[in-house]
Structure 1
Amino acid sequence: MSGEASPSPSGGINLEGLEDVEDFVWANEGEESMSWERFSHLYDLMLMGNTAFRNNRFEETSVLVQAINCYSKAHNIKPGDPIILSNRCAAYLRISQFLKHRPSSASEYRPLSGLDPTTHAGLALKDAEKVMNLQSNSASSYILTTNALILLEKYEPAHQVILSGLQVDPVSKALQNLERIAASRIVRTSHGRPQRTDDFDCTLCLKLLYEPVTTPCGHTFCRSCLFQSMDRGNRCPLCRTVLFISPRTCAISVTLNNIIQRNFPEEYAERKLEHDSLTHMGVDLLPLFVMDVVLPCEKFHLNIFEARYRLLVRRIMEGNRRMGMAIVDSTTGSVAEYACEVEISDCEPLPDGRFFLELESRRRCRILQNWDQDGYRVAEVEWIQDICPSEGTRERADVHYTSIVK
């Protein structure tokens, strides 16, 4: 692994020192306890995995998944091999970065299923730590661990790993670049304030717990994080116990919430501001559900099953219960210029995590600009004011006739 930065698919932090994987060599293998036929199969798996990794150009997650599968099969044949672990770690890191920065416009045409970017980064960290235990004198193990920690937004531990790695290889370009990235993102705690530990962090978003809820199996998460995780199944994200809870019946842990607010007021205020910005948008900001054309005063039903839109529904139900509905313009491939605001009049969560919605469309708007936010689109809009035709004109008569017919 060299010190060049791997290309980022759509912006964000570049991975350092992971533009290639290590080749699995024949030398010094096969004469121990492994038969020649078994080692030959192992070598072929590593060759297929490396080929898939090198052929990937960030267009297909399936290519990286294929590489990971090959490395995992090789690991089953020879557990604890540092080359197998480091190559699989690099594949996990790449797919995590790809998913983290994948634009929502791509999901509208081709939704993805499978593990989320945080889970992939966590798997990469496990492999990287194993490589570090096996090769503590190799700079590549520190590079892998640091990349995983940065993707998990654990900048303080990442900085400590970098400093240890620079003692092993002081001239490593990759470690030097990673040191600058980690240092620029470290939030330094002020003097006299309690030091926050992982005990107060949500294991899903890896941030300070906000509106903490404790499951019957004893694990605590942010309320929004838990129900976002349950979009894919009604099991505890940590121990996989089946959970029979819903947003309507799950109460916040009041005592724990008060402890967090009292000891970490500034960080809690930041988390509250972050949460409010997602659930209570400004007057001219509107989350978009990209599906079809809707006109004002229509009543209709929707069955929400896609994870990103389930997250959208939960957030707007905590806010003003309104979103915009728009269609993709077939000529441009982007969201159409005009949308319609709709209001959720009834939301029924189903046992499998879906939402059954009753909606009524309200008013039209013009989309000035839109951007990606957690897998769905948010738009800045300009409201359209209908101008009533003047008295005595044909247009006024048509409007009057239409109202009578209705």
Structure 2
Amino acid sequence: MSGETVPSSGIVLEGIDDVEDYVWANEGVELWDQYRHVYDHVENGNQAFRQNRFEEAINNYTRANNMKPGDPIIIGNRSAAYMRISQFLKDRSATDSEYGPLSGLDMTTLAELAFKDAEKLMSLQENAVRSYILKANALILLERYEMARDIILSGLQIDPFSNILKASLRSLERMPSSFTRTRDHDRPERTDDFDCTLCLKLLYEPITTPCGHSFCRSCLFQTMDRSNKCPLCRTVLFISSRTCAISVTLNNIIQRIFPQEYAERRSEQGSLINFGNDLMPLFVMDVVIPCQKFPLHIFEPRYRLMVRRIMEGNHRMGMVIRDPATDSIADFACEVEITECEPLPDGRFVLEIESRRRFRVLRSWDQDGYLVAEVEWVQDIPPRDAIDREDLQELTNNAAEDARSWLSTAKAATRDRRKLEVLYNIEAMMPNPQDPERFSFWLATLSNRRPSERLELLRIRDTAERIRRGLIYLRAEAPGCRVQ
């Protein structure tokens, strides 16, 4: 497409003086019977367009679109035809309108229809320069010059050598700044055009679905935890958080037009991801103690949301149990780190987690269906003097020798490969005996303990007492019986 037309505003409309031909070879011979009428309508529409019979061209393109929805050539050609009529009405003198009144749609409505088709084309072909050319021209006709400039700049990122986009940019830059500010009325006046229809806030990290709707990335996948359909049109979506990319063009435009509001959205989203040192999202399941490693299957919608946010942050959460007597969460829990995360196609997660530090829950509250707690990190009371430190270290060293002996006997007595693998994993998690507190927790992992016993181990702040209990548990359990 080449050439230019000049409306009364003085801005050159580039690239809408011709339309694209429909190349049937792209469809395949086997589809000729199904789509030959589409081809005929497009050809008739193109002929009418080139003879300046734009209404006839639009009618033909609309018939073709009804038979084959979502075809980029049909949508792009119709957008250009709408613009040509809108441009004609905009440039028509008052005298012509007085002596020859016209019926039909007004120039603004036609420009809005052109803009709608251009947006649809961009959703189908985001990397096609033609979609940027058409959308920029539609915005110029709507006198939204700053947005038109943003679209042109985005298009030049796709094709820096596009002469049409360069010419359009030069035309806009020649306009007096006062004229563009007046026509834009001013950019700070926010409409809901860039709002997410789910959270009703400015789009943040927008994703445009194959059906043409845009949502905040976090909002879209939060709804997909419960259904795999578009929240607006109910089209089934085959997308995942791992493979679906943010709409870079739309995101850049929003940041450029609404920088302050976008920064507020970024800060708001960041608070959901980066909890801070004393805040912890909680997974309510079981009592975990430090120095454990195990797999975890996440399938509940609330926890799928939580895991996505955790994986964008520090990969850590708290593992806590609910007390059946009080129906409230236990006062002590353990921090775990997600070391491996495998998203499944249906939105579930398979995790590998390792337990880290224990903490005490000060208070908790609900956030989007899961619990978040203010926590206090807990450590054992250190030995009072050098003699106590030496006694604790000697106790730890002796316990380490007992544990190694127990593991050696257990591995020799085990014939089951799965049980043997678990024993080797436990052995690999063994901390250095020079860290008695951490070692005391690892020692307790060698035996099967009830949740109430593990919770009591978290509450104990005497390292020597925990080691002694660990040895009692170990001696009461026969080697090889650790894994059920």
Query: Over aligned residues, Cα RMSD in angstroms?
Result: 1.8
* Unaligned segments of structure 2, at least 5 residues: 1-184, 405-484
1:391 aligns with 2:385: no
Structure 2 CA distance for aligned equivalents of residues 262 and 403 of structure 1: 61
The structure-2 alpha-carbon separation of the partners of 1:387 and 1:401, relative to structure 1 and needing over 3 Å to count, comes to: farther
Q: Which residue in the other structure is 1:219 paired with? A: 213
Name which of 369, 373, 376 aligns with 1:379.
373
In the TM superposition, what are the counterparts of 1:6-405 in structure 2 within 5 Å?
A: 194-387=188-381, 390-393=388-391, 395-404=392-401, 405=403
Structure 2 CA distance for aligned equivalents of residues 241 and 251 of structure 1: 19
Structure 2 CA distance for aligned equivalents of residues 349 and 402 of structure 1: 40
Aligned residue type for 1:330? P
| 8 Å CA contact 1:234, 1:242 repeated in 2 | yes
In the TM superposition, residue 323 of structure 1 has moved relative to its aligned partner by 0.3
Aligned residue type for 1:373? Q
Structure 2 CA distance for aligned equivalents of residues 354 and 398 of structure 1: 45
| 8 Å CA contact 1:233, 1:352 repeated in 2 | no
Aligned residue type for 2:378? I
Identity percentage of aligned residues: 72
Structure 1 CA distance for aligned equivalents of residues 393 and 324 of structure 2: 34
Structure 2 CA distance for aligned equivalents of residues 352 and 248 of structure 1: 12
Structure 2 CA distance for aligned equivalents of residues 347 and 296 of structure 1: 20
String of CA shifts for 1:281-301, please: whole Å, max 9, x gaps.
111111111111000011111
| 8 Å CA contact 1:388, 1:396 repeated in 2 | no
In the TM superposition, residue 387 of structure 1 has moved relative to its aligned partner by 4.6
Structure 1 CA distance for aligned equivalents of residues 397 and 187 of structure 2: 67
**Larger helix proportion, structure 1 or 2?**
2
In the TM superposition, residue 193 of structure 1 has moved relative to its aligned partner by 5.1
In the TM superposition, residue 322 of structure 1 has moved relative to its aligned partner by 0.3
Structure 1 CA distance for aligned equivalents of residues 279 and 289 of structure 2: 19
Structure 2 CA distance for aligned equivalents of residues 194 and 239 of structure 1: 30
Structure 2 CA distance for aligned equivalents of residues 319 and 303 of structure 1: 20
| 8 Å CA contact 1:233, 1:353 repeated in 2 | no
Aligned residue type for 2:396? V
Higher relative contact order, structure no. (Cα contacts within 8 Å, ≥ 6 residues apart) = 1
In the TM superposition, residue 324 of structure 1 has moved relative to its aligned partner by 0.4
Aligned residue type for 2:237? L
3-state SS of paired residue (1:246) = coil
In the TM superposition, residue 321 of structure 1 has moved relative to its aligned partner by 0.5
The structure-2 alpha-carbon separation of the partners of 1:242 and 1:268, relative to structure 1 and needing over 3 Å to count, comes to: same
String of CA shifts for 1:67-98, please: whole Å, max 9, x gaps.
xxxxxxxxxxxxxxxxxxxxxxxxxxxxxxxx
**What is the total number of aligned residue pairs between the two structures?**
215
In the TM superposition, residue 402 of structure 1 has moved relative to its aligned partner by 3.4
| 8 Å CA contact 1:208, 1:268 repeated in 2 | yes
3-state SS of paired residue (1:241) = coil
3-state SS of paired residue (1:232) = coil
String of CA shifts for 1:221-280, please: whole Å, max 9, x gaps.
101111111112322222222222221211111121111112212221221111000001
In the TM superposition, residue 365 of structure 1 has moved relative to its aligned partner by 0.7
Structure 2 CA distance for aligned equivalents of residues 401 and 220 of structure 1: 63
3-state SS of paired residue (2:329) = coil
Structure 2 CA distance for aligned equivalents of residues 403 and 195 of structure 1: 69
* Unaligned segments of structure 1, at least 5 residues: 1-190
| 8 Å CA contact 1:287, 1:378 repeated in 2 | yes
Structure 2 CA distance for aligned equivalents of residues 402 and 251 of structure 1: 52
